[in-house]
């Protein structure tokens, strides 16, 4: 498996296809919520397995010192393989390289424990986004 920052339009299309499969098709997130018009201001990451796109994430500035991890997605067939961890490690390395001191994210409640294993801490009460319960989490880099 390979995880890297997106560099081409083709790689971005692959990342968006993963997000569509996971968030829109599988989880029922409305398309207008998933494709929110903020992709142009983000750095994208793509995970592939033998050339097939199987994971994606994006990162945007949250504030001057903090990056925000968003749209972290792994297709069902590759969950539990360490791919989500690899995506987050790649994103965190990019954030640190860009001078950010921390990463914040909005985790769906069922995956809060995954992020806790990556040293993220819950920083909010539960809230709903696109009909799905979430918690804000933060990690110092």
Q: Which domains does the chain have, with CATH numbers?
A: 2-140 (3.40.630.30)
Whole-number pLDDT of residue 129: 87
Where does the pLDDT of residue 111 fall: very low under 50, low under 70, confident under 90, or very high at 90 and above? Answer: very high
Where b means 16+ CB within 10 Å and e means fewer, 91-108 reads: bbebbeeeebebbbbbbb
Tens of pLDDT, residue by residue over 9-67, are: 999 999 999 999 999 999 999 998 998 999 999 999 999 999 999 999 999 999 999 99
pLDDT digits (tens, 9 = 90+) for 67-90: 999 999 999 999 999 999 999 999
pLDDT at 131: 86
């Amino acid at each position: 498996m390979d995880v890297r920052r997106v560099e081409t339009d083709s790689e971005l299309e692959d990342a968006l296809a993963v997000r569509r499969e996971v968030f829109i098709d599988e989880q029922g997130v409305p398309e207008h919520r998933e494709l929110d018009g903020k992709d142009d201001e983000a750095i994208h990451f793509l995970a592939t397995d033998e050339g097939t796109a199987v994971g994606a994430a994006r990162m945007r500035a949250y504030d001057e010192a903090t990056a925000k991890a968003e749209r972290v997605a792994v297709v069902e067939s590759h969950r539990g393989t360490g791919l989500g961890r690899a995506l987050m490690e790649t994103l965190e390395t990019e954030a640190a390289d860009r001078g950010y001191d921390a990463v914040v994210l909005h985790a769906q409640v069922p995956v809060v424990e995954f992020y806790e294993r990556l040293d993220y801490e819950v920083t909010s009460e539960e809230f709903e986004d696109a009909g799905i319960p979430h918690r804000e989490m933060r990690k110092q880099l």
